[in-house]
């Protein structure tokens, strides 16, 4: 504010009000004497609030670029924000619309925000709003074929603007093709930690998963989000199975997304079972340090090895991870884990007897057939019951055993150890590969840890039954015998017959 007349008025006002609380009458007299038009002042403030709009009022201020060819921009709308706006519509003085995406990458300076700006016609903007055009396509298929890369300094100095060919924009900084503005509006994002007050404003039950930064300037790369996503879905599948629900480790179809952020909604096929699953995690996480960790794991149906991987990812990436179950008829159920809490939970797990889900335990005792299955898949891409002289159900058991040993991926594609097994020139070499894979499998590691030894060679085969009772509480009695026989046979064949 450089007008000397205004400065003088403010100085006079401060002098009048200094060191004492004026009465209402004193205030009116001071305003009249100083010639302040309070009604016009109030009207101006109200107009600025209206111009800013609800989206802008609810989000932190956006650092719009200064001194660039884009012109004098103002914030028109916030399309997506987590802790701060990440996807916005900005307009120039002439009314031109720009879609802007916060696009920081690994190695970005903490003193500067990086944005991508693309100009939109009003038709294109409407297509973006109704979901006909994805956010990704709006940049890669820009109408003018150019995109502005803008570095906005945090100290408010002049921004740096460079131009990119639209088709050559770094695709890693863009949201996936399925991220639509229309989809994001279908499920209005709640604050990450929803709490338990009131019912959820959703039309059907959804599971909301989010990954968030813990510090300003931290970058969430696709590698980190993918690792968290994979770790949670393994945990989730085991927990659902532990609660009596047949679940696959494959990620379900996405029903909604918050564009430009890592918050996503997934449809829930059985809200009652999912409620037990998420409530179990809520109890497990909330009881850190105050109750028996193993009892909490068993009660929630949580697989400790999958849980440990999830916690390690949170610590390694220094992220905040959370899940909220939203239902039209019930209050939200949620939990949240940051790096500090993850370390406490990991510390508990170090001194806790493992708890495994049934998917980690094989039930295919003939290693000759297992080797034959892997070689047949390498030769033909699949395996028939006739090739192994077994039933169709037993083929499934042997495929599962190969996955337990890391010989097959979840899609039944040979892994590197699987290919090494196929290439083994002697049975002794094949057995050595199987020994390594069994000992480093989650089942093998848990058996050693339960027995208090470092190698399966030191585990007694006859302890398999007690190991399964202690470590796999969800195991049905009808299958426990086959799994016990499998573990005993594998142990004796690969490590010798000593008791």
pLDDT digits (tens, 9 = 90+) for 322-372: 999 988 878 889 999 999 999 999 999 988 888 998 889 999 999 999 999
pLDDT of res. 36: 60
Q: How confident is the model at residue 26 (pLDDT cuts 50, 70, 90)?
A: low
Bridge partners of 147, per DSSP, are: 164
Better-predicted residue by pLDDT, 165 or 214: 165
How far apart CA 388 and CA 383 sit, in angstroms, is: 8
pLDDT of res. 189: 37
pLDDT of res. 327: 83
Q: Report CA torsion sign: 377, 383, 387, 391.
A: positive
pLDDT exceeds cutoff 90 at 463: yes
Please provide the average confidence, as pLDDT, over all residues in the chain: 79
Tens digit of each residue's pLDDT (9 = 90 or more) over 192-228: 333 334 444 456 788 888 888 776 556 666 777 888 8
Q: How confident is the model at residue 261 (pLDDT cuts 50, 70, 90)?
A: low
How far apart CA 397 and CA 382 sit, in angstroms, is: 14
How far apart CA 43 and CA 344 sit, in angstroms, is: 54
Mean pLDDT check: name the lowest of 8-12, 48-52, 375-379, 434-438.
48-52
- In sequence order, the 6+-apart residues with CB closer than 8 A to the CB of 403 are 409, 410, 412
pLDDT exceeds cutoff 80 at 420: yes
Q: How confident is the model at residue 475 (pLDDT cuts 50, 70, 90)?
A: confident
pLDDT of res. 371: 96
Q: What is the mean predicted confidence (pLDDT) over 455-461?
A: 92
Going edge to edge, which strands form the sheet with 160-165? 74-81, 85-91, 97-102, 112-120, 146-153, 160-165
pLDDT exceeds cutoff 80 at 99: yes
Better-predicted residue by pLDDT, 294 or 265: 294
What residue has token string 């007897």?
A: 353
pLDDT of res. 9: 56
Q: What is the mean predicted confidence (pLDDT) over 290-297?
A: 85
Better-predicted residue by pLDDT, 448 or 60: 448
Other beta carbons less than 10 A from residue 181's beta carbon: 24
pLDDT of res. 22: 47
pLDDT of res. 33: 62
Mean pLDDT check: name the lowest of 118-122, 250-254, 447-451, 495-499.
250-254
- Residue 441, CB half-sphere, CA atoms under 13 Å: how many? 27
Q: Rank 98-112, 248-262, 369-383 by mean pLDDT and report only the highest.
A: 369-383
pLDDT of res. 75: 85
How far apart CA 403 and CA 410 sit, in angstroms, is: 7
**Stretch (H or E) spanning 19:** none
**Stretch (H or E) spanning 263:** strand 263-267
How far apart CA 407 and CA 155 sit, in angstroms, is: 54
pLDDT of res. 112: 79
Cα–Cα nearest to 237, from 307, 284, 178? 307
How far apart CA 474 and CA 175 sit, in angstroms, is: 39
- In sequence order, the 6+-apart residues with CB closer than 8 A to the CB of 111 are 153, 154, 155
Q: What is the mean predicted confidence (pLDDT) over 118-123?
A: 93
Better-predicted residue by pLDDT, 21 or 246: 246
pLDDT of res. 58: 39
Q: How confident is the model at residue 53 (pLDDT cuts 50, 70, 90)?
A: very low
């Amino acid at each position: 504010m450089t007008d000397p007349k205004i400065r003088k008025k403010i100085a006079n006002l401060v002098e009048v009000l200094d060191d004492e609380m004026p009465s209402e009458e004193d205030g009116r007299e001071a305003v009249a004497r100083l010639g302040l038009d309070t009604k016009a002042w109030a009207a101006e403030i109200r107009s600025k609030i209206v111009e800013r709009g609800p989206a802008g009022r609810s989000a932190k201020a956006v650092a719009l670029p200064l001194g660039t060819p884009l012109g004098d921009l103002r914030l028109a709308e916030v399309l997506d924000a987590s802790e701060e706006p990440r996807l916005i519509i900005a307009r120039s003085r002439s009314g031109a619309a720009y879609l802007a995406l916060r696009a920081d990458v690994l190695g970005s300076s903490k003193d500067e925000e990086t944005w991508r700006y693309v100009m939109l016609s009003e038709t294109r903007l409407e297509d973006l709003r109704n979901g006909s055009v994805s956010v990704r396509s709006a940049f890669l298929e820009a109408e003018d074929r150019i995109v502005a890369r803008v570095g906005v300094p945090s100290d408010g100095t002049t921004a740096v603007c460079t131009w990119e060919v639209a088709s050559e924009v770094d695709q890693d900084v863009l949201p996936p093709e399925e991220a639509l503005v229309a989809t994001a509006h279908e499920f209005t994002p709640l604050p990450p930690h929803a709490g338990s007050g009131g019912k959820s404003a959703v039309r059907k039950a959804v599971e909301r998963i989010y990954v968030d930064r813990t510090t300003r300037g931290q970058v969430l790369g696709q590698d980190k989000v993918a690792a968290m996503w994979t770790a949670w879905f393994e945990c989730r599948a085991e927990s659902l199975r532990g609660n009596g629900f047949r679940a696959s480790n494959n990620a379900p179809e996405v029903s909604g997304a918050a564009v430009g952020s890592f918050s996503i909604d997934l449809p829930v096929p059985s809200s009652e079972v999912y409620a037990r699953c998420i409530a179990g995690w809520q109890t497990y996480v909330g009881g850190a340090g105050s109750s028996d960790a193993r009892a909490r794991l068993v009660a929630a149906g949580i697989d400790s090895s999958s849980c440990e991987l999830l916690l390690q990812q949170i610590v390694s990436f220094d992220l905040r991870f959370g899940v909220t179950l939203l239902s039209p008829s019930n209050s939200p159920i949620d939990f949240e884990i940051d790096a500090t809490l993850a370390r406490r939970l990991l510390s508990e797990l170090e001194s806790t007897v493992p708890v495994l889900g049934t998917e980690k335990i094989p039930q295919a005792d003939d290693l000759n057939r297992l080797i034959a299955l892997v070689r047949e898949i390498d030769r033909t891409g699949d395996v028939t019951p006739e090739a192994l002289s077994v039933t169709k159900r037993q083929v499934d058991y042997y495929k599962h055993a190969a996955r337990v040993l890391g010989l097959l991926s979840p899609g039944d594609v040979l892994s590197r150890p699987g290919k090494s097994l196929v290439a083994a020139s002697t049975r002794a070499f094949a057995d050595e590969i199987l020994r390594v894979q069994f000992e480093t499998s989650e089942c093998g590691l848990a058996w050693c840890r339960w027995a208090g030894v470092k190698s399966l060679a030191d585990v007694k085969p006859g302890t398999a039954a007690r190991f399964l009772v202690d470590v796999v509480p969800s195991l049905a009695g009808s299958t426990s015998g086959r799994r016990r026989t499998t573990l005993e046979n594998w142990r004796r064949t690969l490590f010798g017959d000593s008791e």
